[in-house]
Amino acid sequence: MMSVVANTVDNLQADMLKRPTNFSSTSFSSAVASVSGVAAVSVIALALPAYLIHHLPVQTYTAWVLIIQLGAYVSYLDVGIQLAAHARGNSRPCTFLGFRFRPTYHGSIRRYYMSRNRIAVFRKYVAIFPVWAWLSMYDSLREAVKCFLGEPTAPVKFRRFVLGTWDGLTGRIGKRKGL
């Protein structure tokens, strides 16, 4: 039994050594977002009870302090899980007509669902948040163009992108069979 565990640990260490060791900007921004979230929750958990004790009855105050503390503990656990389990993407730089870019290399089925769900969200919120919707549309089209120009399975992904866009425009929601 111990040899199986030792072999598994050795295999995991060998796999980790094969991965690139440079720290990407995505990982850095994810780490900064996680740490800033923990900092915000910590400030709230420390400052809010001092304010609430003067304005709430004892039983209500006790309930709120427990809720705040539980939220802080969940946030503390979440940052550790997110930073430990987040795997980097397979983003390699590409060049097209002198422009250097990094495609995301998402799977073709994920491309379908991303394009379909984006259209559904755009249709729902373009009247309420027009600037956000147009900027998001621009970003999603830019990511799609990067995918089609720089990834090896671009024809399949393009087909699924168009199919997802069509299903989003026609309102077809749910799991799609036969992708």
Residue 13 lies in a domain: no
Asked if residue 175 is part of any domain, the answer here is no
Q: What are phi and psi of 53, to 5 degrees?
A: -60, -25
pLDDT at 126: 86
Do both 57 and 99 map to the same domain? Answer: no
State how far the Cα of 175 lies from the Cα of 152, in Å rounded to an integer: 26
Interval 49-92: pLDDT, tens:
878 888 888 888 888 888 888 877 777 776 665 555 444 556 67
CA 33 to chain centroid, in Å, comes to 12
Please identify which residue in the block is written with the tokens 């939220």.
71
Residues 51 and 113 placed together within one structural domain of the fold:
no
Final residue in a domain of this structure, among 65, 85, 105: 85
CB 49 within 8 A of CB 101: no
81 lies in which domain range? 20-85
| Residues 60 and 100 reside in one and the same domain | no
Task: Give the pLDDT of residue 56.
Answer: 83
Task: Please tell me whether residues 78 and 104 are part of one structural domain.
Answer: no
Are 91 and 24 in contact by the 8 Å Cβ rule? The answer is yes
Residues 101 and 143 in one domain: yes
**CB 161 within 8 Å of CB 110:** no
CB-count exposure of residue 161 (10 Å: 0-12, 13-18, 19+): buried
How far is the C-alpha of 6 from the C-alpha of 1, rounded, in Å?
9
Residue 9 in any domain: the answer is no
**Domain-embedded: residue 176:** no
For residues 42 and 13, the model is more confident at 42
Q: Are residues 80 and 101 in the same domain?
A: no
Which of 42, 62, 85 is the last residue before a domain boundary? 85
pTM flag (> 0.75): no
Q: Could you give the CA distance from residue 41 to residue 61 in angstroms, rounded to a whole number?
A: 18
Predicted confidence (pLDDT) per residue in 123-143, tens digit: 888 888 888 888 888 888 888
Domain boundary among 68, 85, 102: 85
**Same domain (yes/no): 149, 117:** yes
109-121 pLDDT, tens digit each: 888 888 898 888 8
Instruction: Please count the structural domains in the chain.
Output: 2
**pLDDT tens string 27-37:** 666 677 777 77
* Statement to judge: residues 28 and 79 lie in one domain: yes
